[in-house]
Structure 1
Amino acid sequence: MDSLVSIITPNYNSEKFIAQTLQSIRAQTYKNWELIIVDDCSTDKSLDIIEEYSKIDKRIKFLKLSENSGAAVARNKAIKEANGNFIAFLDSDDLWLPKKLEKQLAFMVHNNYNLTYTSYNIISENDVAPKKTVFCKPELNYKQMLYSNKIGCLTAMYNSANLGKIYMPEIRKRQDYALWLKILKKEKMAYGFQEVLAFYRVRSNSISNNKMEMLKWNWILYKKVEKLSYFESLFYVTSNILNKIF
């Protein structure tokens, strides 16, 4: 099993976390990877940190956008540059456990799965200790995913050799959710590897932590991207709210 895995990482002002993220990638037991980081016009010192790491590890490729465009544009630029048979995602403040790539890739290759994800722990902005564990569903199809996004972006991997490169809709938020839905229109199922292999960091200033913003972007996803009817969109936005509550 020597397939190249392309890791997609958008960066925006993550100087506090990016070194730890990069270290978690470099600590992977599976070594045949390339990391493509695309910076979205950061104004902090994260650029210097990434450049230093790219000098000491040639597997790290560092690209920059000319204007602030959002994570979807950054991720799509990285996907375009990717050379791997598999494409994985990790944001610039999240972490992987050392055997993440090794175990998930073996799971995909052995079963011939094209889209997979894993369980993960949630950590706070300043605390590495797990606050909550999100156990993944064993299987997910398109219809199930419409009710709520059950795939953590930091855990997802798809087989680009089999599916081709699939890009995210260039919306400011929920673009990862939209990508899984797009893939599941081609694939009958996505499959979950039950073991915890990643850490998702909740940041106080993130859009995903703003409930009203998320309502807006869920609506845009269902109505404009998935092109569901007004009532279908309202139904699934409501189901997302209920899933968050219960």
Structure 2
Amino acid sequence: MPEVSIITPCYNSAKYLQETIDSVLKQSFQDWEWIITDDCSSDHSIEIITKNSDSRIKLLKTKKNNGAGSARNSSLTEAKGRFITFLDADDFWEPNFLQEMISFMKTENAELAYSNYARCDENLQPKIADFIADKDVTFDNLLKTCRLSLLSSMYDSTRIGKEFFPEKSKREDHVMWLNLLKKVPIGKPLQKTMAKYRMHEASVSRKKTNIMKDQYLVYKDFMGFSIAKSLYYTANWALNGFLKYSKIFN
């Protein structure tokens, strides 16, 4: 079995997909499988994936478009690696990402770890300061801001099992991490920048005011908090999100 499983959803990602593929193929650590689930792309994403003939790349295809969370779950179901990590079809890893993360997790005896990542424009040029992995992540502090980014995090599925994404939340990554941290005491930080995140101008994840309700439902529906408690954490999340992305503070 491979040491690590890479989980990727793909939907109309042709513009940046080859760069993402190249960043995986160039990894110094080579004992991996990459499970890409195409979510009914209408561009030539599938052709780009299939032309990269590598037996470690496994392509799944959905019958209808169900969103990134569902696509990730399809890949997770097939994953066989000890370590689980995520890479969206437009993001980028430095060549030592897998090697550094796996070595760190084994050295620290960590069940969950995350690293710095560069926050770039669509051409992978620096846009604002790198996000720094500067503290242990716990369930309590993750309620106020989601410090764990999919492209720079990894967990040990042998020790804690697989954690799937809720398919009825538009904030499925935050819910998934919170559920995982109910089982894991802490996520440990590796202060090295080994990934690049594209900050698309039109990205839904950047329009914080449009997803306040969705974030509120993370706490109210998925964590089972009271209305007052859910409003409290939503306000904290909004403030921390502003500080996280505002150029004034970066």
Q: Provide TM-score, normalisation by structure 1.
A: 0.95
Q: CA deviation at 1:137?
A: 2.5
List runs of 5+ in structure 2 lacking aligned partners: 244-250
Residues 1:116 and 2:116 aligned together? no
Partner of 1:21: 20
Contact 1:70 1:172 (8 Å CA) reproduced: no
Q: Quick one: which of 135, 139, 143 aligns to 1:142?
A: 139
Mapped contact 1:116–1:190 kept (Cα < 8 A) = yes
> Cα distance, 1:109 vs. partner?
0.9
Q: What is the Cα deviation at residue 58 of structure 1?
A: 0.7
Deviation at 1:23, TM superposition (A): 0.4
**Secondary structure, counterpart of 1:147 in structure 2:** coil
Q: Which residue of 2 aligns with 1:165?
A: 162
Distance 1:34 1:217 in 2: 33
CA contact (8 A) 2:138 2:181 kept: yes
133-142 or 212-221, which moves further after superposition?
Answer: 212-221
Q: Is the 8 A contact 1:21 1:93 kept in 2?
A: yes
Inter-partner Cα distance in structure 2 for 1:72 and 1:37 = 13
Between the aligned partners of 1:129 and 1:153, the Cα distance in structure 2 is 20
Tell me what 1:8 maps to. Answer: 7
Match of 1:192 in 2: 189
Aligned residues: 242
Aligned to 2:82: 85
SS in structure 1 of the partner of residue 119 of structure 2: strand
Structure 1 segment 36-185 matched on structure 2, within 5 A: 36-53=35-52, 56-125=53-122, 127-132=123-128, 133-185=130-182
Identity %: 38
Structure 1: unaligned runs, 5 residues or longer: none
Superimposed CA distance per residue, residues 95-143 of structure 1 (whole angstroms, 9 cap, x where no aligned partner): 0000000001000011110111100001112x22112211012301100
Which range is displaced more, 24-33 or 163-172?
163-172
Change (3 A) 1:193 1:61: same
1:156, 1:217 → 2: CA distance?
Answer: 23
Which residue matches 2:248?
A: none
Q: How far apart are residue 3 of structure 1 and its match?
A: 5.8
State the AA in 2 paired with 1:7: I
Match of 2:247 in 1: none
SS of 2:23's partner is helix
